[in-house]
A and B are shown apart, each in its own frame.
Chain A
Amino acid sequence: MIVVLLPLLFAVLQFGDAFHRWLAQDAATAHAARYAAELGGDAPEVRALLAESLRDAGIDPERARVEVVPARVGWREPIRVSVRTDHTIAIPFALTTVIPLRSSAVARGELAR
């Protein structure tokens, strides 16, 4: 019985944790995209905000792959921020695997150059 129930319990906990992190990462990415749009592109401030938001969500920002494309935008030009992290799912007696959590958000440049 324990061989059946323990993996099920862990599956609920592990996937719940993965969903939670994914949502937090999405929210952080959306905020970063808005901030990048305000600043007119990729900037250390954008990366710092993103790192802080990820850290608050329990995600190590050092392990996140972040892309801001294009690096510099003008007024009303689209800018995309993409974040990818790897999350480990470990379920006793069943499986241990790594799933990629991908987030991206598109905003429009708000800086008239």
Chain B
Amino acid sequence: MRLLADEGGTLALTTVVLLPLVLVTLVGVLELGAVRVVAERARLAADLATVTAVNDQDDAYLARRGRLRLAPEAEDVARGSFAANLEPLAGWLASSPSAVAASADVAVFRDGGERDPRTGRRYREPTVRLTAELPVLTPAFALLLARPVTEVRILSTSSAR
């Protein structure tokens, strides 16, 4: 009986000592998972934005020259589409979707053969590249690491074919 009582006490002590560690790990894992989900959803939004903008071709130029060239408003189209597709994530972000879209670095390479100064890549076809810093709210990280907002960088590039 004495032995059982001792083991019970040890088990209770182990539980009490380990429980905070396990709880912190669990909360951290769930928060990290949530940040990954938001980042992936934002990447989908960026992909949709660049594809939509790249489809916005200069029709008059295409009719005249028979070649693809991005419309002058391609950048606005990319930002508008990005903001619209970020809207479901509004509750997860520290800034509004329109503010995130407005501050995104959108580069429009209207003709092929241009070099992107940011990525160093040369695009053979007309291309839209979007880079954005996403301020994701992380309330659990705020408690654990004093980090209420985690910045996630996303990059998306689409070329016309």
A binding-site residues for B, Cβ under 8 Å? 1, 4-5, 8, 11-12, 15-16, 19, 22-23, 26-27, 30, 33-34, 37, 76, 78, 102-108, 110
Closest 8 CB pairs of A and B: A106-B84, A30-B44, A19-B37, A19-B33, A1-B15, A108-B52, A8-B26, A26-B41
Query: Could you tell me the distance between the alpha carbons of A37 and B54 in the complex, rounded to whole angstroms?
Result: 14
Q: Are B52 and A107 in contact (CB under 8 A)?
A: yes
**Chain A hits for B88, CB < 8 A:** 102-104
Query: Could you tell me the distance between the alpha carbons of A4 and B22 in the complex, rounded to whole angstroms?
Result: 10
Q: Are A34 and B40 in contact (CB under 8 A)?
A: no
B binding-site residues for A, Cβ under 8 Å? 11, 14-15, 19, 22-23, 26, 29-30, 33-34, 36-37, 40-41, 44-45, 47-48, 51-52, 55-56, 77, 81, 84-85, 87-88
Query: Could you tell me the distance between the alpha carbons of A5 and B22 in the complex, rounded to whole angstroms?
Result: 8
Q: Are B52 and A1 in contact (CB under 8 A)?
A: no
Q: Are A1 and B34 in contact (CB under 8 A)?
A: no
14 more A-B contacts (CB under 8 A) besides A11-B26, A108-B81? Answer: A4-B15, A4-B19, A8-B26, A19-B33, A19-B34, A23-B41, A30-B44, A30-B48, A76-B56, A105-B85, A106-B48, A108-B52, A108-B55, A108-B56
- Secondary structure of the A contact surface, majority rule: helix
* Shortest distance from the beta carbon of A70 to any chain B beta carbon, whole Å: 15
* Shortest distance from the beta carbon of A78 to any chain B beta carbon, whole Å: 7
28 contacting pairs across A/B (C-beta < 8 A): A1-B14, A4-B15, A4-B19, A4-B22, A8-B23, A12-B26, A15-B30, A19-B33, A19-B34, A19-B36, A19-B37, A23-B40, A23-B41, A26-B41, A33-B48, A34-B48, A37-B52, A76-B56, A78-B84, A102-B88, A103-B88, A104-B88, A105-B48, A106-B48, A107-B48, A107-B52, A108-B52, A110-B55
Query: Could you tell me the distance between the alpha carbons of A24 and B51 in the complex, rounded to whole angstroms?
Result: 19
Q: Which of A1, A102, A105, A110 contacts B44 (CB 8 A)?
A: A105
Query: Could you tell me the distance between the alpha carbons of A19 and B33 in the complex, rounded to whole angstroms?
Result: 7
